[in-house]
A and B are shown apart, each in its own frame.
Chain A
Amino acid sequence: MKACVIVFPASNCDRDMKVALEASIGSPVDMVWHRDTQLAKYDLVAIPGGFSYGDYLRCGAMAARSPIMAEIKKHAERGGHVLGVCNGFQVLCEAGLLPGVLMRNAHLKFICKDVQLKVERADTAFTGGYKAGQTVTYPVAHHDGNYFADAETLKRIEGEGQVAFRYVDNPNGSLGDIAGVYNAGGTVLGLMPHPERLVDPLLGGIDGKPLFDHLVKTLAA
């Protein structure tokens, strides 16, 4: 299993993502700079949290047009797996790899706390380590996590099982309490909460660990 973490200027969860992945994979994970124009063959590309390009224009807007994104799109089109967390989710929406957009939180506040999430389905490489309907705790830390899509898109993603996680107690105004979505094939996942921040008892919990463990188990097979 080979994975990489993409690094943009002002990414700040890139090392956390690398550490979480390496703990599950057991071998080193590459860091790939956003200006690179070649992407080696990876099973998983992870886009980390942070404030890429200082959130200029719109969160994730600049990063979504970085040179490396053309390669990530090709990787996704080949059926390669992509995980985007927090700013990574915003980047994937801006790049058109996931439907919808993340807007300013409804109450305008930056939210930094643990939240409870409902796992919608357990038949993807990302969530096979959980049970459908199970509640897990992940931390959130964002100012722009308010998920929005037009009525038609929302109906489509709800109908086709593209909702990955829902907030038990909606902290940011997201439509349908949506905290994370899949692409149509279930191979690209974006979510606002941070599974990589709860993968070790020393960090206060391990609810995020099954996501990484199951990804590795599935993609290494």
Chain B
Amino acid sequence: MKVKVHVTLKNGVLDPQGKAIENTLGSLGFKGVNNVRQGKFIELTLSETDADKARAQVDEMCKKLLANTVIENYHIDIEG
């Protein structure tokens, strides 16, 4: 079972890398780009075949390692 995890910074947490990307896009001539936020994308293949169990498993993984919930949110997509 394929699972995709997006880890993003919480609102209000300063993202200097996102800011630098935004500035560079501006200097390349891309106008009207605002609020650039950089995150992480993690793809997993699980031997689990039950979608609910897979979600529960990955949720645990996110809490224990994949995200630092002090500053990050995570979103899990089960691809089947």
Chain A residues engaging chain B, CB cutoff 8 angstroms:
57-58, 61, 65, 94, 100-101, 103-108, 146, 148-150, 153, 173
Known A-B contacts A103-B71, A108-B20; the reply to A57 vs B66 at CB < 8 A is yes
Pairwise interchain contact B68-A107, C-beta atoms closer than 8 A: no
- Nearest residue (CB) in A for B69 is A101
CB distance from A87 to the nearest CB of B (A): 15
Please give the number of chain B residues whose Cβ is less than 8 angstroms from any Cβ of chain A in the complex: 12
Provide the residues of chain A in CB contact with B14, threshold 8 Å: 103, 106, 146, 148, 173
Once A57-B65, A57-B66 are accepted as A-B contacts, the answer to whether A148 and B16 lie under 8 Å apart by CB is: no
In the complex, chain A residues whose CB is within 8 Å of the CB of B70? 100-101, 148-150, 153
Q: Are B68 and A58 in contact, with the CB atoms below 8 A?
A: yes
- Contact yes or no, A101 B68, CB < 8 A: yes
Is B64's beta carbon under 8 Å from chain A? Answer: yes
Give the residues from 2 to 43 in chain B that come closer than 8 angstroms, CB to CB, to chain A: 13-14, 16-17, 20, 40
Contact check, B16 vs A106: say whether CB atoms are below 8 A apart.
yes
CB distance from A149 to the nearest CB of B (A): 7
